[in-house]
Amino acid sequence: MPTVWNTPVQDPSALDQTAAELGMGGDLAPEASADAYQRRMARRKEVQQQRVGERNLEKGLVLVFTGDGKGKTTAALGLVLRTLGHGEQVAVVQFIKGGWHPGEAKALQLFGDALHWHALGEGFTWETQDRDRDRELVQQAWKRSCDYLADASRKLVVLDEVNVALKLGYLAVDDLLMGLSLRPPLTHVALTGRGAPPALLERADLVTEMKLVRHPFREQGVKAQAGIEF
């Protein structure tokens, strides 16, 4: 006997559960006939429209990209490109990094003053070999970050590798959290780097953890290549 998906649903959590039960469709749906499948997907569309309609809050988000896998900065820069595409202004402050000029920084120069990009580090700790200098540069980067976080003209602020600065002890988590509170209501901030601390994860609206499964440097000895790593 076919399932009938016609029970009114109002509670947001119940809507989420119903959406999960209805599924994504395709060959994952159990219905053999086209009519039964169409009924399932029609109900799925109805539930999705309810979910979207009831979630209409707009706010500046704290987005964290962490984990030991590759792609954290890449994810944040995808947001940069998307935001610039909507005609908004963006600031990128890179902690630790700075020993090279990445391709994305060169490409995004096309957006002119809509994008402010600052690489305020001098490279990995084993390259710099100077804790005091590294700490000084992190503090400079943080001061610049706070200026942008408080600037309502910047729709998105990216703090690239700030999690590493936290982990190394060059920036206090409490200072970071206080800085996040400087933002105007609709300013988004993306924070990247391995080892995001629990207090930041608790504060975040979105957390994505990149999981390392395989990496060409580790398994094959492939060097960092232009367009992939930088």
Residue 101: inside a domain = yes
pLDDT of residue 1: 40
Q: Domain holding 67: CATH number?
A: 3.40.50.300
For the cut 60, the answer to whether the pLDDT of residue 189 exceeds it is: yes
Query: Comparing 17-21, 30-34, 125-129, 219-223, which segment has the lowest mean pLDDT?
Result: 125-129
SS3 string, the chain, reads CCCCCCCCCCCHHHHHHHHHHHCCCHHHCCCCCHHHHHHHHHHHHHHHHHHHHHCCCCCCCEEEEEECCCCHHHHHHHHHHHHHHCCCEEEEEECCCCCCCCHHHHHHHHHHHHEEEEECCCCCHHHHCCHHHHHHHHHHHHHHHHHHHCCCCEEEEEEECHHHHHHCCCCCHHHHHHHHCCCCCCCEEEEECCCCCHHHHHHCCEEEEECCCCCHHHHHCCCCCCCCCC
* pTM for this entry: 0.83
Mean pLDDT, the chain, whole residue set? 89
Question: pLDDT tens for residues 66-125?
Answer: 999 999 999 999 999 999 999 999 999 999 877 556 788 888 888 999 999 998 876 666
Q: Residue 55: which residues within 8 A CB-CB, separation 6 or more? A: 12
Residue 135: inside a domain = yes
For the cut 80, the answer to whether the pLDDT of residue 4 exceeds it is: no
Question: pLDDT tens for residues 210-228?
Answer: 998 888 877 888 887 877 7
Residues 23, 106: one domain?
Answer: no
Residue 122: inside a domain = yes
Residues 78, 170: one domain?
Answer: yes
Residues 191, 118: one domain?
Answer: yes
Range of the domain at 144: 62-220
Residues 49, 70: one domain?
Answer: no
Segment 10-13 long-range contacts (CB within 8 Å, at least 24 positions apart): 12/51, 12/54, 12/55
Residues 48, 72: one domain?
Answer: no
Q: To the nearest whole percent, how much of the chain has pLDDT over 90?
A: 70
pLDDT of residue 10: 60
pLDDT of residue 131: 84
Per-residue CA distances from 28 to 38, 133, 218 (Å) = 14, 56, 36
Residues 68, 128: one domain?
Answer: yes
d(CA 72, CA 184): 25
Query: Comparing 9-18, 34-43, 198-207, which segment has the lowest mean pLDDT?
Result: 9-18
Mean pLDDT value across residues 139-157: 97
